């Protein structure tokens, strides 16, 4: 009976340590990432478990297309996965495999600098239902707009430069050059 009391006493002494251990392992870390504060440095400020999506509407006139860039932080490494889709002449899509995002936020060809460019060139008075680029993190989002075709194409060109830097072999939206026109044959008059 004395042995049982000693065992109970030892267990009671260890109980706070056991409870503390379980609470430490069961607590989930809440990310401090905030899209509004960290947007232009998201690759540096995301924490493990965070996911940021950048959706770009590439549609123009009768051409319907979009891309989604999904940034996920895992094991202290930032990964990027790209999904592209066109729906103009039959639906086609492509998902490029996840890769490590190594571009520094200060690099002129980073997504952060592209978003800074969009912010500088945003047309808030022209906001419609269809943003050019939407960035989301959990329930937060930031939208960027264009001001007509010329503005849209300028912003697309900047995105394509960033994309080419990260995915130089991606040819999903590239078209072959049209064939050259037939030669002009001059007739000889007699």
Q: For 151-189, how does the pLDDT look when each residue is reduced to its tens digit (9 = 90+)? A: 899 999 999 999 999 998 888 776 555 566 777 777 666
Would residue 126 count as lying in a domain?
yes
Strand intervals (E) in the chain: 51-57, 65-74, 77-86, 92-100, 133-137, 140-144
Task: Tell me the C-alpha distance between 56 and 176, whole Å.
Answer: 23
Would residue 141 count as lying in a domain?
yes
Domain that holds residue 58: 35-166
Would residue 185 count as lying in a domain?
no
pLDDT given at position 6: 56
Would residue 171 count as lying in a domain?
no
Would residue 15 count as lying in a domain?
no
The residue assigned the tokens 């960033």 is: 162
pLDDT given at position 94: 92
pLDDT given at position 137: 95
Task: Tell me the C-alpha distance between 119 and 182, whole Å.
Answer: 46
Sites in the chain below the pLDDT cut of 70:
1-29, 124-128, 174-180, 187-190
Burial class for 144, CB neighbours closer than 10 Å (0-12, 13-18, 19+): buried
Structural domains counted in the chain = 1
Would residue 135 count as lying in a domain?
yes
Task: Tell me the C-alpha distance between 80 and 96, whole Å.
Answer: 9
Phi, psi dihedrals of residue 150, rounded to the nearest 5°: -60, -45
pLDDT given at position 171: 80
| Residues 6 or more apart in contact with residue 172 via CB below 8 angstroms | 84, 94
pLDDT given at position 85: 93
- Angle ∠(21,72,168) on CA atoms, nearest 5: 150
Would residue 12 count as lying in a domain?
no
Would residue 1 count as lying in a domain?
no
Q: What is the pTM of this model?
A: 0.75
């Amino acid at each position: 009976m004395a042995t049982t009391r000693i065992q109970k006493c030892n267990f009671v002494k260890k109980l706070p340590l056991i409870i503390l251990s379980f609470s430490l392992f069961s607590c989930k870390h809440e990310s401090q990432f905030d899209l509004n504060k960290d947007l232009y440095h998201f690759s540096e400020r995301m924490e493990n478990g965070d996911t940021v999506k950048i959706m770009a509407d590439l549609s123009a006139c009768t051409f319907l297309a979009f891309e989604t860039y999904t940034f996920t932080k895992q094991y202290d490494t930032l990964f990027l996965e790209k999904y592209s889709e066109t729906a103009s002449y039959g639906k086609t899509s492509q998902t490029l495999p996840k890769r490590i995002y190594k571009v520094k936020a200060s690099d002129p060809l980073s997504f952060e600098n592209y978003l800074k460019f969009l912010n500088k060139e945003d047309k808030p008075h022209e906001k419609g239902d269809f943003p050019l680029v939407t960035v989301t993190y959990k329930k937060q989002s930031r939208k960027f707009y264009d001001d007509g075709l010329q503005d849209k194409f300028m912003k697309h060109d900047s995105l394509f430069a960033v994309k080419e830097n990260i995915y130089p072999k991606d040819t999903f939206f590239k078209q072959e050059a049209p064939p050259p026109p037939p030669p002009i044959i001059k007739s000889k008059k007699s």
